[in-house]
Amino acid sequence: MLILTSVGTLVTLLFQPLWELFVEKNPQGALNSLGWSALFFLPFLLLYYINHFFLIRRFLFEENNSKKFWAVNFLAVVVLYCLKNVVRVFIDDFLWTDFFLLLIPNFMIGFMVIGTALGIKYYFKSVEDLEKEKENQKAELQWLKNQLNPHFLFNTMNNISAQIYTNPDEAQENLSRLSAVLRYALYETQVEKVPLKGEIEFMEDYISLMKLRCSDKTTVTVNFDCEPAGEKILPLLYVSLIENAFKHGISNKEESFIKVSLKKSAENLDFTVENSNFPKNENRSGSGIGLENLKRRLELAYGGNYKFSSGVTGGTYLSKLIIKL
The single-letter code of the amino acid at 324 is K
User: Which residues share a beta bridge with 139?
Assistant: none
CA pair distance 200, 140, nearest whole angstrom = 21
CA pair distance 199, 195, nearest whole angstrom = 7
Burial of 110 (0-12, 13-18, 19+ CB in 10 A): buried
Burial 239-271 (b: 16+ CB within 10 A, else e): bbbbbbbbbbbbeeeeebbbbbbbebeeeebbb
The torsion defined by the Cα of 221, 226, 227 and 230, in degrees rounded to 10, comes to -120
Query: Tens digits of per-residue pLDDT, 107-138?
Result: 888 888 899 889 888 888 888 887 877 777 66
Backbone angles phi, psi at 191, to 5 degrees: -135, 165
- What is the β-pairing status of strands 232-233 and 256-264? unpaired
Residue in 235, 224, 231, 232 with CA at minimum distance from that of residue 273: 224
**Angle subtended by helix axes 103-145 and 66-91, to nearest 10:** 140
Query: How many other β-carbons are positioned within 10 Å of the β-carbon of residue 272?
Result: 16
- What are the angstrom distances between the C-alpha of 107 and each of 39, 56, 110, 114, 305? 15, 19, 5, 10, 38
Residue in 2, 13, 130 with CA at minimum distance from that of residue 56: 2
- pLDDT one digit per residue (tens) for the chain, 325 residues: 545 555 555 555 555 556 655 666 666 555 555 555 666 777 888 888 899 889 998 899 888 889 999 999 999 988 888 887 777 666 666 556 566 666 788 888 888 889 988 988 888 888 888 787 777 766 665 655 555 666 777 788 888 888 888 888 999 999 999 999 989 988 888 788 899 999 999 999 999 999 998 888 899 999 998 888 889 998 888 988 998 899 888 888 889 999 999 999 888 999 999 999 887 765 444 445 677 778 888 888 888 899 999 989 888 999 999 999 8
Domains of the chain (ranges plus CATH)? 2-141 (no CATH), 146-324 (3.30.565.10)
Query: Tens digits of per-residue pLDDT, 245-262?
Result: 998 888 888 899 999 999
